[in-house]
Structure 1
Amino acid sequence: METRFSAFAKGGEPVTLKQILDQVGDPPWHWSLSVFEGTSLADSDLDLIDLERKVERAEEGVEISLQSLRELAGQVDQTINIHLVAKVSFGSSCVFVVQAFDSTEWEIWAEDSDVVAVGVFDRVREGAETGVWRFGFGKGGRQAD
C-alpha cells in the first residue's frame, strides 16, 4: 500500500516528521535512515550537518531507535528529503517506509500483509486527509488508553 500527500496541510502549515512518527506507536521494528536532509529548530542543539554526513556515508543507512528518531523529529523544523525504513528484524524485508521529497511531498508505504504496518499507514493517511494528527499510540501501534 502506498500513499503520497503534500508536505503542507490545507491551511499551509507543514506536515512534520514528528506528526508522522506520532502515528507509529511502539511496534517492535528496527529503523534505518538512508537519506536525510533538513533544517533544525532555531533553539535546537542538533548537528544536522554531522547527521547528514553519517547517513550519506552509511551504505545500508544508519540504524536508529524509534526513541532517537522521535527526539530527532522533535528538533527538526523542516524535512527536505528523507528515506526511513522499518523492518521487523535487521536483514528482513521492510514493512514500513517514510519518504519526503524536496520539501513538497511525503510518501508512505506499508507492507499490506503486516497488520501493524497497515494500522500505522491508515492513521498517517487519515491525518494527511483530515489534517487531524493523532498521537499517544502504545505498544504494537495500538492507541494507548
Structure 2
Amino acid sequence: MKDTSHLPVVRAVSTWLITLRRPLVAVAALAIVAVAPVHAQTTGTAFCDTDMVATIKNVFTLIQFGGPLIGGVIALGSTVALPAVSRADRKKEVTEMRNQAVIWGVLVAPLGTAIIAFLLNNVVVGGTSCGF
C-alpha cells in the first residue's frame, strides 16, 4: 500500500499558494516596475544629459522670453492703436486687451517660469546639477 499521509499537507500548501497567487504576482510586477525608476536616479549629471531636460529648458526659454515678448507687443500695439479707435466700447476692449497683455505676458509668464524652475531645482532628483 502507498503511504498517503502527506496528501493533506500537499493539499494545504497548494490551497495556500492558490490563495496567494494574485498578491504574489502583484508584488512581483510592482518590484519589476518600481525598481526601474530608482536605477534612473543614480546621479544628477546623468539626468542632465537626457532629451527630457533639453525639452524642459526649451519650454522654459519659450515661456520666459516669449511671454513678455508677445505680451509687450500686444500691449504696445493696443496702446498705439487706442487713439485710432473711435467707439467707446472698442476703446474699452482695446484697453482691456492691453491690461491683460501686461498682466499675463509681462508679469505672470516670468513668475511662472521662476516658480517652476524653483520646483524643478528643489524637487526633481538631479535638478540642481542641471541648473534649470
Task: Determine which structure has the larger helix proportion and give its number.
Answer: 2
Q: Which structure shows the bigger proportion of residues in strand conformation? A: 1
What is the TM-score when the length of structure 2 is the normalising length? 0.23
Question: Which has the greater radius of gyration?
Answer: 2
